[in-house]
Chain A
Amino acid sequence: MTSVASEGRAGAPTPEIPPVALGPDESRWRRRLPLLKQLPFIVLLAAFSVLFIYPFLWLVSASLKTRGTVFDNKLIPHPFAHDVFHNYAVIWSAAPFLRWFANSMYITLLAAVLVTFASALTAFAFAYFRFPLRNFLFGCVLATMMLPTVVTMIPVYLIWHHVGLSSSQIPLWAPNLFGSAFYIFLQRQFFMGIPRTYFEAARMDGDNYFTMFWRIAVPIARPALIVTFLFEFKAKWNDLMTPLIYLHGYHQYTIPLGLYDLLGVYSPSAGGSGDYEWLMAAFVLATLPLLIIFAFGQRYFVRGITLQGYKG
């Protein structure tokens, strides 16, 4: 049934490398429904989309307002802050925002790159080699996937505490050196779709297993690696719990921890003067990288999400 799909991608010449199926095949649904029949749904969907997009508009609008009007809930700021981006200018100097941004960026990028390649190495081993204990070890991977994070949260903290790194940024990215169960599972599916003849050819060319993995498997599995990178980027950029545990110096903070902190500092009930318009600007800035990532990688997110449904 899936073989029909490849004909659907008309026009392009048959690629040398057969496309490895990632997610379900959409072609059999692609018949046009008459516009009139769709219209009620389009209208309803448009109405509901207000729920999802309005908070963003509200946020951006509030970030451009003056202190007195932040919470007037008007969409168009009236009056605007002194110069339009006043609040944005302030937040850079009011908090070590640039520092937090840099911290978040370096931790997130490092974590995402590490987990992508560590998971690929593991996933490839499970997909390509036949070896004793393979099923048992893969069962361990699957079991890890269902494990609640709180079960290992405390002992992992204690491990870092005992090696003297429990108040550094290292625990935020170092565990990614060892791969992550969900990504291993996802990438293994992908590697298994690569015909073995490619690998045999590479072996003929004198590749050892590692160069074969690097030259053949990794380039072909690029979509799966991108999905991994993007998912992990999002997860790490958002993470609040881990930084709360490990980061104590103001200059070590990541963006989420910084925002959490500002929320307390600026609040009147905690002695602040209610500078929420600055906070709103900070929220917008914190969201931007994810939106940019999303704009470039949307289809990978959709594919990745879709794949989650098949992991059960």
Chain B
Amino acid sequence: MATAAVATRRPGPGDRARRWASGFRERDTWWAYAFLVPWAFGFVVFTAGAMVWGAIISFTNYSVVAPSHSVGLANYRQIASDPYALLSLKNSFEMTAIYVPFEMGLALLFASMLARVTRFDGFFRTVYYLPVMTPTVAIGGMYLLMFNGPYGLVDQFLGYLHIPEPYWLTDPNWIKPGIAAMLVWQVGGNTVLYLAAIKNVPQQLYEAASIDGASAWRRFKDVTLPMISPTLFFTFVILTVYGLQVFDQIYTAFYNPSNAKISSDTSLMYVIYLFQQAFDYLHMGFASAMAWLLFGIIMVITAFQILVSKRFVYYEGEQR
């Protein structure tokens, strides 16, 4: 503020640095830092510090109970040769590949229908959102009972329709679609998100399209989809990350003393294997390496998604 009056010569980098440093003499600055103390402590200890420590551990054979020493890249090499680690990674990818399009498609379908309804819309929104409010453990437990082939509710219903009833909990071909279906039951969250995005599309665009004689399908394809593509893209990234990391429901349904006998390796997700390695077998070093590998994979996928999205996502020029 006051410095503007004295600026007779062009400010160089030294001046800017000095001005920047003079910020530390302001009382306000210290007030701001005081406000930030709790967060900064948490960030340094539980995020940045934890990440560094995790990275270090991933190069050791740390196990909490015994003394540890460095093992170099052995943990990472072991992932490559551990059949279960590779299998679980493949399982996670396959399940996510089923789940994400399924979830996005249904959310889009429900949202576009909800957008055309002005009666009972509050009721529908509540009903569709209810599963999101159900405890994940209850979902896993109910899944176990309702998808219990061939006696569960789902198979009984399929039986009425004379559709062959799959053994959702034991048949390797049906375990992943079943898990994806269980996750998609909570589609309400994304439905609400897409609905908000659709409602945010300027009405004039539809009117203009109608005047040009665009059919309902064309209006959806050429107006709605491009206009909500940022939201679609955002959820695409988030859901992929979620699918690769989902734990609670699957662990409840498949990794419980009660079904240890029936569960096959098809339900072994990467995060579940990581968790078992870390806390059941105390292979903390190996599990940390798995965690960092997942982090790397997620970053690569996200970067790839961002790259590809440049072609498909339309950002409205002056959004806020």
Which chain A residues have a beta carbon within 8 Å of chain B's beta carbons? Answer: 1, 23-26, 28-33, 35, 37-38, 41-42, 44-46, 48-49, 51-53, 55-56, 58-59, 62, 71, 73, 118-119, 121-122, 124-125, 128-132, 134, 137, 140-141, 144, 146-159, 161, 175, 177-179, 184, 209, 213, 234, 237-241, 244-245, 255-256, 259-260, 263-267, 269-270, 272, 276, 279, 283, 286-287, 290-291, 293-294, 298, 301-302, 305-306, 308-309, 311-312
Contact = CB atoms under 8 A, between A and B. Distances in A.
A239 B248 CA distance: 8
Given A131-B23, A294-B133, A287 B138 contact: yes
A49 B128 contact: yes
B133 A154 contact: no
A131 B33 contact: yes
Contact of B257 (A141, A270, A309): A270
A264 B258 CA distance: 5
Contact of B46 (A41, A134, A156, A279): A156
Contacts of A154: 54, 57, 278, 284, 287-288, 291
18 contacts: A33-B117, A33-B118, A44-B113, A62-B145, A121-B39, A131-B33, A146-B302, A150-B291, A154-B57, A157-B278, A159-B45, A179-B39, A237-B135, A263-B141, A270-B260, A276-B145, A305-B189, A312-B233
A62 B113 CA distance: 32
A286 B278 contact: no
Interface centre among A146, A155, A239, A311 (most CB of B within 10 A): A155
Contact of A29 (B21, B203, B230, B260): B203
Closest 8 CB pairs of A and B: A178-B42, A267-B258, A125-B35, A129-B32, A264-B257, A155-B50, A312-B234, A122-B39
Contacts of A263: 137, 141, 144, 252, 256, 258
Contacts of B45: 159
Interface of B: 20-21, 23-24, 26, 28-29, 31-33, 35-36, 38-43, 45-51, 53-54, 57, 64, 110, 113-120, 124-131, 133-138, 141-142, 144-146, 148, 151-153, 156, 185, 188-189, 192-193, 196-197, 199-200, 202-203, 230-231, 233-235, 237, 241, 245, 247-248, 251-252, 256-262, 271, 274-275, 278-279, 284, 287-288, 291-292, 294-295, 298, 302
B258 A269 contact: yes
B241 A148 contact: yes
Nearest to B257: A264
Contact of A26 (B29, B199, B202): B199
Q: State the majority secondary structure of interface residues on A.
A: helix
A3 B196 CA distance: 18
A287 B33 CA distance: 41
B144 to A, nearest CB: 7
Interface centre among A23, A32, A152 (most CB of B within 10 A): A152
B196 A118 contact: no
Nearest to B232: A309
A266 to B, nearest CB: 8
Given A52-B188, A129-B28, A141-B43, 12 more contacts: A44-B113, A55-B131, A131-B29, A155-B50, A155-B57, A158-B53, A240-B247, A259-B137, A267-B259, A283-B142, A298-B129, A309-B197
A52 B128 contact: yes
A138 B151 CA distance: 53
Nearest to B299: A146
A132 B29 contact: yes
Contacts of A44: 113
Contacts of A267: 256-259
A290 B135 contact: yes
A128 B71 CA distance: 48
A144 B47 contact: yes
B142 A45 contact: no
A41 B117 CA distance: 7
A151 B231 contact: no
A276 B151 CA distance: 15
Given A175-B42, A267-B259, A269-B259, A240 B248 contact: yes
A71 B50 contact: no
Contacts of A294: 129-130, 133
Contacts of B278: 153-154, 157
A56 to B, nearest CB: 7
Contacts of A33: 116-118
A156 B47 CA distance: 8
Contacts of A137: 36, 40
B77 to A, nearest CB: 19
Contacts of B252: 240, 259-260, 263
A177 B130 CA distance: 29
A127 B45 CA distance: 24
A38 B298 contact: no
A54 to B, nearest CB: 8
B235 to A, nearest CB: 8
Nearest to B261: A269
